[in-house]
Amino acid sequence: MGLTLSRPDLISLAAGFTDNEFLPVRETREIVRELLSNPGKGRPTLQYGVTPGDAPLRRLTAERLRRLDGMGDGSAALDPRQVLISGGSQQMLYMTTEALCDPDDIVLVEDPTYFVYLGILQSHGIRARGVQVDRDGLDLDHLSKTLEQLKRSGAIGRVKMLYVVSYFHNPTGLTMSLEKKRAALTLLRGYERAAGHPIYLLEDAAYRELRFQGEDVPSALAIRGAAGRVVYAGTYSKPFATGIRVGFGVLPEPLLTAVTRIKGNHDFGTSNLAQKILARALSGGVYDAHLERLRRRYALKSAAMLKAFETHMPSAVDWWTPDGGLYFWVRLPPGLAAGRNSRVFQEAVRAGVLYVPGELCYAADPSRPIPVNEMRVSFGGAKLADIPEGVARLGRVLTRMVRRT
């Protein structure tokens, strides 16, 4: 980020920002004008709320999830009281991990996974254990083998959960099918007796609403009998405005009570102003209208990036094209490193383009080497007009480097 600020010529395909030109400036201004139009309405907006969050926002969130997951509107499967509002979904990941894990515990993660989450684990002395992914998403065989091996080694009692970024996965862009979620939950359940406690699925759905192609997949909340083991973390930041940090979790007891207590200790509740802006945007249709524009925008940007890849990338490089979210996952030939200290990274910076080295997204797991020949390339933050040039710069570097190796 520092580099981006100091080199205005640089095209950043690194940051997972939302499109700067598509932030709801006018919409937010109008909503705040209305919220604060008179003291009677304005005061509750500027006063403390309650720790679990604004009641209308919790209700709207539950209704929205029920709709997305195809549950009936009167469905008891998702009670607004299970919804806890947070300062972005990041805080929900943090608090859930804090509530569930002790130092030296184990969290299963996709290999690769969201690198900031690895930082959370590391800062608490929690071990991350990677489960392989391929083009189809989480490798269930590898999950099964990993669990079996943890059981044999006597470490299964330390396993507290499986963390997955289930929609347009950060960094690979993959979406996890409902069948995989169901199978993963069944597998986890099978080791609970050995573990001596529940093993949860933490479903990070941060990118869910950013789909621009294909059909939404139900979340693990929709799986019958799974509700007691699923923590769902969602956000309104990326689909609406990253400057208004509002996320949420759906949690089963006793986790709900534990995480609400932690939320009380963190900040006893997310900014009421931010929450009421989102509640108003959701109830008045502003959120959905904005999301539609955003989806069309990301479809365009993703298509522009794909076309630029096809034009500029040497044939030895391949990539996974997403149906939503912000990221392409790019793989160089095995011998060609793309890490922070690699020649490729340095030459890319020199050529004026930034990406996220894939190696940062792998847990420190001594049981396998960390792949170094991958990169996360984002079309989210860059200007549409800059994407072809950014990819062209990267393509030139890679063409040169592939030729050399």
* Separation between Cα atoms, residue 200 and residue 197, nearest integer Å: 10
Establish if 289 lies at the interface with a copy of itself (CB under 8 A): no
Contact criterion met (CB below 8 Å) for 159 and 147 = yes
Selection from 168, 92, 128 nearest residue 324 by Cα: 168
Q: Which is nearer to a copy of itself, 37 or 213 (CB)?
A: 37
Taking the complex as a whole, how short is the minimal distance between the CB of residue 55 and a copy of itself, in angstroms?
A: 10
Residue 345 touches a copy of itself, criterion: CB under 8 A: no
DSSP string, 12-72: E----PPPGGG--HHHHHHHHHHHTSSHHHHHHHHS---TT--HHHHHHHHHHHHHHTT--
By beta-carbon proximity to a copy of itself, the closer residue of 62 and 95 is 95
405 binds a copy of itself (CB under 8 A): no
- Which residue number, 88 or 249, has a Cβ lying nearer to a copy of itself? 88
Is there binding between residue 120 and a copy of itself (CB under 8 A)?
yes
49 binds a copy of itself (CB under 8 A): yes
As measured in angstroms, the least distance from the Cβ of 127 to a copy of itself is 16
52 — phi, psi (to 5°)? -70, -15
- The least CB distance from residue 270 to a copy of itself, in Å, is 7
The 8-class DSSP code of residue 161 comes to E
Taking CB under 8 A as the criterion, the residue among 17, 158, 306, 314 binding a copy of itself is 17
Single residue of 10, 12, 14, 45 touching a copy of itself by CB under 8 A: 45
What separation in angstroms does the CA of 218 have from each of 69, 300, 308, 321, 350?
5, 25, 32, 21, 43
Beta bridge partners of 164: 203
Q: Could you say whether residue 56 binds a copy of itself (CB under 8 A)?
A: no
By C-alpha distance, which of 357, 352, 304 is closest to 330?
357
Return the range that interacts with a copy of itself (CB under 8 A); candidates 82-90, 132-140, 311-319, 338-346. 82-90
Interaction residues for a copy of itself, span 229-248 (CB under 8 A): 241-245
How does DSSP classify residue 321?
Answer: P
265: DSSP letter: H
Residue of the chain from 6, 8, 9, 33 that contacts a copy of itself (CB under 8 A)? 33
- Is residue 29 close enough to count as binding a copy of itself by CB under 8 A? yes
Query: Minimum CB separation from a copy of itself for residue 281, in Å?
Result: 12
Q: Which two tokens stand for residue 220?
A: 């693990």
User: Does residue 257 belong to the site contacting a copy of itself (CB under 8 A)?
Assistant: no
3-state SS, residue 275: helix
Nearest partner of 358 among 345, 346, 374, judged by Cα = 374
Interface region with a copy of itself, contact rule CB under 8 A, candidates 90-98, 165-173, 283-291, 324-332: 90-98
292 binds a copy of itself, rule: CB under 8 A: no
Write down the least CB distance from residue 46 to a copy of itself, Å.
Answer: 4
> Which residues make Cβ contacts (< 8 Å) with residue 138, sequence separation at least 6?
110, 131, 132, 164, 176, 180, 184
Listed ranges 44-52, 74-82, 105-113, 281-289: which one lies at the site for a copy of itself (CB under 8 A): 44-52
Cis peptide before 357 (omega within 30 of 0): no
Residues that bind a copy of itself (CB under 8 A): 1, 15, 17-18, 20-21, 23-26, 28-29, 32-33, 36-39, 42-50, 87-88, 90-91, 94, 116, 119-120, 123, 241-245, 261-262, 264-274
